[in-house]
Chain A
Amino acid sequence: MGAIYRREMRAYFTTPIGYVFMIVFLMLASSIFCLTTIQLGERSNLFMYFTILIFLLIIIIPILTMKSFSEEKKMRTEQLLLTSPISIAGMVAGKYFAAMTMYTGTLLVSALNFYTIFKFAAEGSDPNVASIVGNHIALILVGSVFIAIGIFISSLTENQLAAAIITVAVILVLLVSGFLADLIPFYPIRMVVKWISIFTRFSYFTYGIFDYSAVLYYLSISFLFLFLTGRVFDKRRWG
């Protein structure tokens, strides 16, 4: 796992992918931060910043994950990985943690934005630190879900572009399913769709509630998709 993790990290920085990801992420995060807080003055609230940021992840995360397994498949390097004495779980985990490192690192850099608020906020109107930390933890967890989904989808195709587009579509559906759920008249189905919705759970965090069941939910969904990725390789061997 270590070897794959190190290779992935190196690949992010020897190819443009890592830089593109960081630049796009930081640029978007900063401009949204500016628009939702500083520009709005008294009416500003953090709820809006985090909500918009999570929707931006839809286009940002696939940059990180579209290559992960599709490239290996296309270049036939997966043959090297799968005939090496490493486990499939280790291989998937190496890719996942590399993408998580990139994502978390960049997210933490973007958190520097908050410095401006603390510096310039009016006396007595300092933002709630706990809420900011909680929201960042939630963002990391949601990102983990998206990355796991992205890695899973990239293991299904050798076409990077297809992987990226499908990932965007899947994440989008998962995010907005909470809104769509309200349109479903049949109660049980509405509850199920709501339960799946990533956004509904995220919104608790933006209100400043640290929801442990949501943490568990995000971790399980991440694990589920990583597990499925492993199954894809198992399946292909036996197919």
Chain B
Amino acid sequence: MIKIENLVKRYGGNYALDDISFTVNEGEIVGFLGPNGAGKSTTMNILTGFLSSTSGTVTINGIDILEEPKKAKELIGFLPEQPPLYLDMTVEEYLNFVYDLKGCKLNRYKHLREVCEVVKITDVYKRLIRNLSKGYRQRVGIAQALIGNPKIIIFDEPTVGLDPKQIIEIRNLIRTLGRDHTVILSTHILPEVQAVCDRIVVINNGKIIADEKTEDITRAVQNNRRFNVKICGPKKEVLAMLKAKTGIVYAEELAERDGDATTYMIESEPGVDIRKNLFYTLAEKGWPLIGLEGVGMNLEDIFISLIDNGGEDNRRKRSRQQKSRIQISEEGGDN
């Protein structure tokens, strides 16, 4: 459906995108994950024909976006990072405008009604966009992307700035859309892609560093070896014990306090589940263990773990990106 080959975008001497290639198949929901400034928005903007690439090709359903931009753009609905809304229009006027702009051939009244029902904005249909809350504006933005029933829908950070309830609603909506659309979604929030996407493409510094099924990434994250443990006991001795204990490669006292308990962050050796063992040791010493939780991995950790777990087969699988991968593996190897 979407094929991106050797995409490069250079601003002066800076590479915003450095040789990116991936494909998205029909009906897939692909998450585009990366920290801020990684090149997510640039990629989205090139995909939608808003920006051009320095080199490389983007084909949408076999149509090159540079050669036949009109045809390609007809297939895409796009919600940019900031929804492109005219504040001086009502939702009705705005959606009608987008309908005209895209040159839709569907039944106007019925189609707009359907779209509004899908994103739940029917009750604000007659209101001025200026007066809508952020959540509603975002939904009007999504409605705009859905008009004309495009085969491909691209969302650039669709949940930024929304409250938790709205985030869940939008995620559910995206999952529903994924049933009969191809969806690309960019975000810097890992749980978001885990909740919604079939596949995750991880990008950092303009390079793709992983392209995996969501389960694989989830597994990598679950192989978590870091815990925060809350222990009541003499600080120095506890820390010394933790550091000396076999199976623990790293221990550190955190600033967090809870009564007479202190929190420590520990990291176990790969493949060792330290938790039970630790409990018995502490019980023996008479230092109550009052809390133990896995530390959620942040993006950096995931990058590192992805690279560590990458292994030989992955490298073979993505021989095209070999050069950049190896480079990053070397950087990651220090950790």
Contacts and interface: CB of A to CB of B under 8 A. Distances in A.
Interface of A: 2-4, 6-7, 10-11, 14-15, 75-87, 237-239
Contact of A79 (B73, B80, B97): B80
B97 A7 contact: yes
Chain A CB count within 10 A is highest, among B48, B51, B84, B85, for B84
B89 interface: yes
Contacts of A86: 70, 101, 103
A83 B101 contact: no
B80 A76 contact: yes
B78 A83 contact: yes
B76 interface: yes
A82 B86 contact: no
B98 A80 contact: yes
Contacts of B98: 80, 84
A83 B70 contact: no
Contact of A84 (B11, B52, B71, B101): B101
Nearest to B144: A80
A85 B70 contact: yes
B93 interface: yes
B50 interface: yes
Contacts of A75: 84-87
Contacts of B76: 83
B88 A15 contact: yes
A15 B93 CA distance: 14
11 contacts: A10-B93, A11-B89, A14-B88, A75-B84, A75-B87, A76-B84, A77-B85, A83-B73, A84-B102, A86-B103, A237-B52
Given A7-B86, A10-B89, A80-B80, 13 more contacts: A11-B89, A75-B87, A76-B80, A77-B84, A79-B45, A82-B50, A84-B98, A84-B102, A85-B74, A85-B102, A85-B103, A86-B70, A86-B101
Nearest to B73: A85
B97 A3 contact: yes
A108 to B, nearest CB: 26
Given A11-B86, A75-B84, A4 B101 contact: yes
B100 interface: yes
B102 A83 contact: no
B49 interface: yes
A83 B102 CA distance: 10
A75 B80 CA distance: 12
A84 B71 CA distance: 10
Interface residues of B, number: 30
A237 B50 contact: yes
A83 B49 contact: yes
A7 B49 CA distance: 23
Contacts of A81: 101
A237 B66 CA distance: 11
Contacts of A78: 84
A79 B102 contact: no
Given A2-B100, A3-B100, A76-B80, A83 B48 contact: yes
A152 B300 CA distance: 45
A11 B102 contact: no
A15 B85 CA distance: 15
A238 B45 CA distance: 12
Nearest to A76: B82
A92 to B, nearest CB: 14
Contacts of A6: 97, 100
A140 B48 CA distance: 38
B32 to A, nearest CB: 17
Interface in B21-60: 45, 48-52
Contacts of B103: 85-86
Contacts of A7: 86, 89, 97
Contacts of B74: 85
A3 B85 contact: no
A84 B73 contact: yes
B63 to A, nearest CB: 12
Given A237-B51, A238-B52, A79 B88 contact: no
